[in-house]
C-alpha cells in the first residue's frame, strides 16, 4: 500500500476536477447537486482510509520514514525543477508528522464535508462550493506531506488562494468580499517571509529537501552531531540559523494568525460555517505550527528565534482571550478562541516541547470542529441568526445540538479528563520548565488565559442556551445567505432535511438540524471526550512516542527532565493537574454565576454603559488593531502612495522625464520633416548648399594652417 500513498493527495484533486466539469456532465441541476454531495465527502474519506492503511507500514520501517513519488509511475528522484545544482523533486514525505496531519485533514475534513452536504444543500452554487472545498483539502495535504520546502510552499499558497475563494464565497455581499481580500493580502506579508526563509535555506544547505537517502537534506545536515553543517560541511553559525528560523516564523505568523498578522482570521467568519470549521480546526491555521515543528532541528539551535516564538505565542493567546470576552456573534467568539489556542501551540514550540504543541493541534481539531459545526447547527436552527443577543432558551428547543456544544465547550475550557485538559496542561507544564527562563511568568499568563477561555465559552453557552429567549419562536425571519435572491428563480429546496426542513423554514420555528449535520457532531464529540486521556503523557505518552521520530531530540526535553535523576520540577505534575482543573472550573463557574443573574437580558452591561466603558470598547474594538492598521497602511500609506509615489515620483518625475524626452524627439521630428518636400530641386539645392558649406569649411581650415617653409636651392659654387 505504501507505493499507492499518492492516492491520499490525488483523491481530493480528482474530486475537484469532477466538480469543476460536473455542470457539463449533468444538465439537471438537482441531479448534479446530488452526485456532488456524494462525491465530495467520498473522496476525502477515501483518502482517510488510504492514510490509515499506509500508517502501519511507515511505522514498521526502521527510520519510520519513507519517500514516495507524488506522480504515480515516476521515481522519487524525478525532478520537478532541475537547473544547474538546483533540483526539486515531485515527492511526498511519509513520517509520523505528515501522516498525523493527513489523518486530521482527511478525517476531520471529511466529517466537515459530510456536514456541508446538509448545510449547503439549498445553496444554488453548491457544486462550486465543493469544488473549492476539495481543492482546499488537496492543497493542505500537499503542504503537510511535501518532501521539500518548495512543494510545501505550493500547498502553502494554495490554501491561501482557496481560503480567499471560500471566505468570499457569497461575494455579492460587500463585507464578505472584503474579508476574503483581507485574508489574502495579510497572508502575502507572511508568505514573503516564508519565501525569503526558503531562499536562505537553499543558500546555506544547498537543497530544499527535508531528508535525502544520502543524508544531505536540510534536516539531515541540521541534525549532525555537534551542530548544523552547511553544504560544504562547515558549521552554520547561530546567527544564520536564527535568521532562517525568524524568516520562516514570519510565514507562520501569517498563516496561523499570530501577532501582528492575526487580523484576517476573525473576518474569515464571512464564509459559510463549514468553511470556518475547515480553516480553524483542520487545515489552514495549523499550517504554521506544522511547519515550525517540521523545522524543529533548526529551531532548537536558534534559541533567540525560539524565545520569539514563545513570547509571540503567549501574547497572542492572551490577546485573543480578552477579545473573546465581549463578542456577540457566536462564530466570532469561536474565531477569537482559535487565535488564542494557536498562541498556546506556538508557546509550546517556543519552549521546546513541539510534541505538546502538536498534541494540542490534534485535540483542538476535534473540539474546535465540534464547536464550529455546533454553532452552524445553532445558526441553521435559528434560520441564519448569528447574534447571541437575539438567542437564548435553546437548550429545550434543540437539546441534541446543546449537548454537542456543551461537550465542546467543556473540552476547550480544560475540564478534567476531556481532551483539551490534557493537551493544555502539557503546554503549561512545558512553559513552567522553559529552558529560556521566565517560566513562572509564562505559566501564570497561560493560566490566566485558560481562565478567560473557560469564562467566555460558558458565556456563549449561557447567552445561547440558558437565558430567557430573546426571540419569538414561530416568528423567526430567515437570514438570507446566497449570491442569489429567492425571487431570481435560483432558490431550490433540496435540503437533506426534506419536507421537515422546508416546513420549519416556512413556519419560522427553531428546529434540530438534519442527520447529515448531526452525525459528524457525534463523532467529534466522542473524540473530544476520549482522545486526550488515551494519548496523554500521564497515561503512557502514546502521542509523544508516536511523534518522536519527526521532531528534534532536544525538543523532548520535558520527558528528559521528568526522568532525570535528581530533577525537582517547580510544580509536581499532579499539582499542575489540580491547578489547571481549578482554573478551568473557576472560569466556567464565574460565567454561570454572573449570567444566572441576567436571565432576561443575557448581558452583564447595558448597551448604554458599554458605549461609555473604555475597557469594553478597547476589547470590543480588538485592541484597536484594525484602527491602527487603517491609520498606518490605508490612510498614511494611501497618502504616500497617492501624493508622493504617484503624483510626485511617478507622474511628476518619471513621467516628466519620459514625456520631456518624447516631446524633444517630437519637436525635432516636426522640424526635420519640413525638409522632406518631395521636390528634386529642393534636394539639389540642399546638396549644393552642403557642398558650399563643406568647401567653405575646408578653405577656412586651410587658411588657419601655417604656410609651408620654402627650401633654398643650393648655389652652383657649391656643386663639386
Q: Is 126 exposed, middle or buried (0-12, 13-18, 19+ CB in 10 A)?
A: buried
Distance CA 380, CA 479 (A): 10
Residue reference for cell 466529517: 111
Range 497-523 average pLDDT: 71
The per-residue pLDDT for 504 is 45
Distance CA 445, CA 456 (A): 17
Residues found in the chain: 720
Residues 299 and 358 sit within 8 Å (Cβ to Cβ): no
Quick one: which of 280, 293, 505 has its CA closest to 385? 505
Residues 664 and 657 sit within 8 Å (Cβ to Cβ): no
The per-residue pLDDT for 388 is 93
Strand partners, 67: 93
Range 681-693 average pLDDT: 85
Range 694-711 average pLDDT: 78
Cis check for the bond before 260: say yes or no (omega within 30 of 0).
yes
pLDDT in tens, 291-322: 999 999 999 999 999 999 999 999 999 999 99
The per-residue pLDDT for 108 is 95
Distance CA 144, CA 490 (A): 39
Residues 71 and 77 sit within 8 Å (Cβ to Cβ): no
Residue reference for cell 473604555: 614
Distance CA 167, CA 139 (A): 16
Which tops the pLDDT comparison, 528 or 490?
Answer: 528
Whether residue 435 is predicted with pLDDT greater than 50 in this model: the reply is yes
pLDDT in tens, 632-646: 888 888 888 888 888
> Taking every pair of C-alpha atoms in the chain, what is the biggest distance, in angstroms?
151
Residue reference for cell 555537534: 226
Quick one: which of 364, 350, 356 has its CA closest to 279? 364
Which tops the pLDDT comparison, 695 or 567?
Answer: 695
Q: Which three cell numbers stand for residue 458?
A: 460558558
Among 92-96, 299-303, 475-479, 623-627, which is the least confidently predicted range?
475-479
Percent of the chain at pLDDT > 70 equals: 92
Mean pLDDT (the chain) is 88
| Residue 257 per-residue DSSP state | T
Measure Cα distances from 395 to 113, 241, 511, 567, 668 in Å.
Answer: 26, 54, 11, 49, 86
Residues 122 and 28 sit within 8 Å (Cβ to Cβ): no
The per-residue pLDDT for 367 is 95
Residue 362's SS3 state is helix
Distance CA 306, CA 298 (A): 10
At residue 714 the predicted structure's pLDDT band, cuts being 50, 70 and 90, is: low
Residue 52 counted as domain residue: no
Residue 339 CB partners (closer than 8 Å, separation 6+): 257, 262, 265, 266, 316, 319, 320, 323
Residue 79's SS3 state is strand
Residues 419 and 528 sit within 8 Å (Cβ to Cβ): yes
Whether residue 246 is predicted with pLDDT greater than 50 in this model: the reply is yes
The angle subtended at Cα 239 by Cα 234 and Cα 245, nearest 5°, is 100
The per-residue pLDDT for 677 is 76
Residue 640 counted as domain residue: yes
Distance of CA 43 to the CA centre of its chain: 23
Residue 633 counted as domain residue: yes
Quick one: which of 46, 66, 44, 45 has its CA closest to 55? 66
The angle subtended at Cα 81 by Cα 80 and Cα 85, nearest 5°, is 135
At residue 708 the predicted structure's pLDDT band, cuts being 50, 70 and 90, is: low
Q: Which three cell numbers stand for residue 406?
A: 456543551
Whether residue 77 is predicted with pLDDT greater than 80 in this model: the reply is no
pLDDT in tens, 101-121: 999 999 999 999 999 999 998
Distance CA 250, CA 198 (A): 12
Residue 635 counted as domain residue: yes
Residue 265 CB partners (closer than 8 Å, separation 6+): 183, 257, 280, 285, 335, 338, 339
| Residue 80 per-residue DSSP state | E
The per-residue pLDDT for 491 is 44
The per-residue pLDDT for 389 is 92
Residue 393 counted as domain residue: no
Whether residue 553 is predicted with pLDDT greater than 60 in this model: the reply is yes
The per-residue pLDDT for 26 is 87
Total domains, the chain: 1
Residue 310 CB partners (closer than 8 Å, separation 6+): 346, 347, 349, 350, 351, 431, 434, 436, 442
Distance CA 622, CA 618 (A): 6
Range 206-211 average pLDDT: 93
Residue 510 CB partners (closer than 8 Å, separation 6+): 381, 382, 394, 397, 398, 473, 476
Whether residue 582 is predicted with pLDDT greater than 90 in this model: the reply is yes
Residue 72, phi-psi category: left (phi > 0), alpha (psi -120 to 50), beta (remainder): beta
Residues 185 and 48 sit within 8 Å (Cβ to Cβ): no
pLDDT in tens, 452-502: 999 999 999 999 999 999 988 877 877 766 776 544 444 444 333 333 333
Range(s) of the domain holding residue 632: 627-672
Quick one: which of 284, 342, 351 has its CA closest to 104? 284
Strand partners, 79: 89
Residue 639 counted as domain residue: yes
The per-residue pLDDT for 675 is 73
pLDDT in tens, 10-69: 999 999 999 999 988 888 889 999 999 999 999 999 999 999 999 999 999 998 999 999
Print the SS3 string covering 629-660: HHHHHHHHHHHHHHHHHHHHHHHHHHHHHHHH
Residue 192 counted as domain residue: no
pLDDT in tens, 328-347: 999 999 999 999 999 999 99
Residue 636 counted as domain residue: yes
HSE-CB of 92 using CA atoms within 13 angstroms = 34
Residue 261's SS3 state is coil
Quick one: which of 278, 313, 326, 304 has its CA closest to 138? 278
Quick one: which of 322, 308, 185 has its CA closest to 258? 308
Strand partners, 252: none
pLDDT in tens, 183-207: 999 999 999 999 999 999 999 999 9
Distance CA 211, CA 101 (A): 18
Whether residue 394 is predicted with pLDDT greater than 70 in this model: the reply is yes
Amino acid at each position: 500500500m505504501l507505493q499507492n500513498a499518492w492516492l491520499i493527495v490525488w483523491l481530493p484533486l480528482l474530486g475537484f476536477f469532477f466538480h469543476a466539469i460536473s455542470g457539463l456532465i449533468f444538465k439537471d441541476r438537482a441531479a448534479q447537486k446530488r452526485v456532488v454531495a456524494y462525491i465530495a465527502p467520498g473522496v476525502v474519506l477515501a483518502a482517510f482510509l488510504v492514510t490509515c492503511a499506509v500508517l502501519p507500514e511507515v511505522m514498521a520501517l526502521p527510520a519510520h520514514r519513507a519517500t514516495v513519488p507524488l506522480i504515480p509511475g515516476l521515481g522519487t528522484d524525478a525532478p520537478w525543477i532541475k537547473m544547474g545544482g538546483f533540483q526539486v523533486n515531485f515527492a511526498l514525505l511519509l513520517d509520523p508528522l505528515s501522516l498525523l496531519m493527513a489523518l486530521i485533514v482527511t478525517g476531520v475534513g471529511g466529517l466537515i464535508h459530510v456536514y456541508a452536504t446538509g448545510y449547503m444543500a439549498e445553496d444554488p452554487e453548491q457544486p462550486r462550493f465543493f469544488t473549492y472545498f476539495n481543492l482546499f483539502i488537496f492543497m493542505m495535504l500537499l503542504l503537510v506531506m511535501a518532501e521539500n520546502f518548495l512543494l510545501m510552499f505550493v500547498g502553502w499558497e494554495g490554501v491561501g488562494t482557496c481560503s480567499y475563494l471560500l471566505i468570499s464565497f457569497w461575494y455579492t455581499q460587500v463585507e464578505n468580499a472584503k474579508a476574503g481580500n483581507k485574508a489574502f493580502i495579510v497572508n502575502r506579508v507572511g508568505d514573503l517571509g516564508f519565501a525569503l526563509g526558503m531562499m536562505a535555506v537553499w543558500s546555506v544547505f544547498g537543497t530544499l529537501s527535508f531528508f535525502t537517502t544520502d543524508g544531505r537534506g536540510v534536516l539531515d545536515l541540521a541534525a549532525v552531531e555537534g551542530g548544523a553543517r552547511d553544504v560544504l560541511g562547515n558549521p552554520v553559525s547561530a546567527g544564520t540559523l536564527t535568521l532562517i528560523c525568524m524568516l520562516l516564523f514570519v510565514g507562520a505568523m501569517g498563516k496561523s494568525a499570530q501577532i501582528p498578522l492575526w487580523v484576517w482570521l476573525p473576518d474569515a467568519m464571512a464564509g459559510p460555517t463549514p468553511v470556518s470549521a475547515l480553516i480553524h480546526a483542520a487545515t489552514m491555521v495549523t499550517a504554521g505550527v506544522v511547519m515550525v515543528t517540521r523545522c524543529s532541528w533548526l529551531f532548537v539551535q536558534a534559541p533567540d528565534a525560539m524565545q520569539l516564538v514563545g513570547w509571540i505565542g503567549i501574547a497572542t493567546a492572551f490577546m485573543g482571550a480578552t477579545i473573546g470576552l465581549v463578542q456577540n456573534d457566536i462564530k466570532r467568539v469561536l474565531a477569537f478562541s482559535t487565535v488564542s489556542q494557536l498562541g498556546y501551540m506556538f508557546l509550546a514550540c517556543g519552549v521546546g516541547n513541539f510534541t505538546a504543541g502538536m498534541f494540542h493541534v490534534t485535540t483542538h481539531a476535534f473540539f474546535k470542529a465540534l464547536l464550529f459545526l455546533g454553532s452552524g447547527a445553532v445558526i441553521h436552527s435559528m434560520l441564519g441568526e448569528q447574534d447571541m443577543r437575539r438567542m437564548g432558551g435553546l437548550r429545550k428547543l434543540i437539546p441534541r445540538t446543546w449537548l454537542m456544544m456543551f461537550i465542546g465547550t467543556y473540552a476547550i475550557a480544560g475540564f478534567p479528563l476531556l481532551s483539551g485538559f490534557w493537551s493544555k496542561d502539557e503546554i503549561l507544564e512545558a512553559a513552567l520548565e522553559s529552558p529560556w527562563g521566565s517560566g513562572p511568568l509564562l505559566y501564570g499568563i497561560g493560566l490566566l488565559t485558560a481562565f478567560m477561555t473557560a469564562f467566555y465559552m460558558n458565556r456563549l453557552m449561557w447567552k445561547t442556551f440558558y437565558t430567557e429567549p430573546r426571540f419569538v419562536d414561530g416568528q423567526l425571519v430567515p437570514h438570507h445567505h446566497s449570491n442569489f435572491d429567492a425571487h431570481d428563480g435560483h432558490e431550490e429546496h433540496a435540503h437533506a432535511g426534506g419536507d421537515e426542513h422546508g416546513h420549519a423554514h416556512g413556519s419560522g420555528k427553531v428546529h434540530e438540524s438534519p442527520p447529515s449535520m448531526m452525525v459528524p457532531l457525534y463523532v467529534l464529540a466522542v473524540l473530544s471526550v476520549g482522545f486526550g486521556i488515551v494519548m496523554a503523557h500521564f497515561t503512557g505518552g502514546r502521542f509523544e512516542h508516536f511523534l518522536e521520530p519527526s521532531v528534534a531530540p532536544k525538543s523532548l526535553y520535558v520527558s528528559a527532565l521528568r526522568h532525570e535523576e535528581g530533577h525537582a520540577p517547580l510544580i509536581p505534575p499532579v499539582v499542575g493537574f489540580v491547578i489547571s482543573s481549578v482554573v478551568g472550573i473557576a472560569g466556567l463557574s464565574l460565567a454561570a454565576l454572573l449570567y444566572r443573574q441576567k436571565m432576561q437580558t443575557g448581558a452583564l452591561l447595558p448597551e448604554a454603559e458599554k458605549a461609555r466603558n473604555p475597557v469594553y470598547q478597547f476589547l470590543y474594538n480588538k485592541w484597536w488593531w484594525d484602527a491602527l492598521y487603517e491609520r498606518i497602511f490605508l490612510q498614511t500609506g494611501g497618502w504616500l502612495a497617492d501624493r508622493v509615489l504617484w503624483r510626485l515620483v511617478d507622474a511628476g518625475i518619471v513621467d516628466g522625464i519620459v514625456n520631456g524626452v518624447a516631446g524633444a524627439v517630437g519637436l525635432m521630428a516636426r522640424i526635420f520633416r519640413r525638409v522632406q518636400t518631395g521636390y528634386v530641386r529642393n534636394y539639389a539645392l540642399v546638396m549644393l548648399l552642403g557642398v558650399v558649406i563643406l568647401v567653405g569649411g575646408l578653405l577656412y581650415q586651410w587658411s588657419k594652417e601655417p604656410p609651408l617653409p620654402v627650401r633654398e636651392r643650393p648655389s652652383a659654387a657649391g656643386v663639386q
